[in-house]
Chains A and B, each alone.
Chain A
């Protein structure tokens, strides 16, 4: 049994604990350790990605208790992809945070590592209750990170965020209890087997449990009626935290893909396709709400927050198609949008610091002395976010439109995605011209040039968009292989439960 699958969970956990003990160390040491641990996730995540591609599922039975009795970690292509994405985003967010954000209080680096521990655990676990536990780990770290630095706006947004997520946790437990009460298992692979062989009189309870889970995941992922917490929370968090939160909504998306392709997938009899019927209209609605929100935003960070809402809508529309090409398009778009919105949050902070009093509000401000580097980055980010050629947003949307055409749903998806893109383009164009060109009378602000490392961190995340466009061939092949693996839940079940028979 290879120990590779537990690596991305253990490393941030241990680093977080050491940092907790070292709370009185000089900040430079904490930064070095935090950055080293986050950079250490890269080789782990990439080797996991390679191992999954070469040798298939990596099943890790904790304590060597055989599944379904013990708890397993399962790395498949989707998990490895999400872990890799998190590692990339986290390193640049932490790099940005190390330029001053982390000095606002204690424990920033420890909390950051524990957040990564929760994220990686949620992506790798093969057990429903363990998914709940890792959700709680990442949530409690995110509560503290959201409130990091203090202030009235953060407290107000934090209170809403915490209460909503506590209600979500209660619903998660009810759903897990319902599924356990009927099927007698919490292992996802075993659940898939039991749900497929369900007695007709039990389906109603399992359906209720499955749809309750959808509510929980939709809350984490900010799907239509449950997305109102997101803009306020993401706007009030400090920039690197907001950037890391770009992957938090994707945990909800990941959980939806995992549970509804595996447990309620094609083999689930009368319960097959439980979520898709709900996901499709809600995702399109989310997309529209997000586009309207972008247009109505009055500062750049709120624009970025609504771009996260749009991205969730677009992603889940691809999932809601219920076809492998739709899923592949979503996965490619997921890579693009997570890194890009993360970069945009960082860039908004860079620009806000340059403009002095006006901050990142979309009002004319006094001219600022170093507009060129952030301006060029903003232009690139806007082109990518609006889905204009030649960057990755365009390719992602094109794949999605093609998948919708093949699935016969083009008349719903095309107008919403293209109309949403147009509104995004208008909003970003207006934001850019207001921030960089419209001048209020007054002398040039005497802001220092933007911090080179902070600008590089934001730039690196935004430049992943041209990189994803250049490497589109291999990345799309990876997304298609991932979607193909998800379309075959039987292989997942065989990999997990088959490992019961050990040589």
Chain B
């Protein structure tokens, strides 16, 4: 139960101020919250004092949390309804506490397992530890996805619950959600999702294509319905109990390198990032040297327009017509820009070998400019 949300809703419905307060147990008792001597049954859940109605929400560490409303602004029936709503919410909270404890233990175990494997650097397939072997859910094939919420607040309980609800609604099924590092979440979704995306003609789409469109959809949904832009990676379906840590590491690397080297992109699939991963291993000084050698003194010439032109050109496999279409420019304008680039650098990106050089240098240029 989110008490702040409950308070805001009640305030909106009642059109009267509703506050949340903490009282010490003696203060609460002094207000009349204690069970009276000789009285049977439970202590009162609501008391009225000095024109304010106090309703007990719960107790923690010797303090009582109360919801306060102006009793004069409430009719008798509104008051009863208010008490009933708060009591029901409290009961639901107690009931879910047990389930939360169980889920919490599962999350702790999986997280511990992954981080332990990450520290040892042992990414092969191993028998899972005893704690993990106890979870049958990890023996069914799952689609692993890793999420990095750039603007997420850092994986608090509220974030977790909100994201879990959102994903359950999005996938229309229960998914396993495990918060890992700061702002990083692991999603394990049923494998059947991939065939659902494939539609009636069930065929023709590879795992890579199906995972790509699933990630695109998820990223779009999270951008507009959660905390804004987030980075998403995914991997082929796995049996988590066998290879989850290794898979998480692959996806984590893809997002880490993708965030550094693929600015403005949010889907980072490991099988599309072999070159990025290789270039990431090159020391910064070597990167700078390579860029300087390839571009010579054309550095200032690489303005936003030229960068986006070249990037789009490479993204579309050096196809002039498609690039011009994507950039909304005339084909001749594109050719003029490519010629201008050739004059400045001596490199003709319409030749395969020189295009490879420019493609690599451009990627390194962006990284070295930002570091």
- Please determine whether chains A and B interact with each other in the same assembly: no
Chain B residues in the interface with A (C-beta under 8 A): none
Residues of A bordering B, CB below 8 Å: none
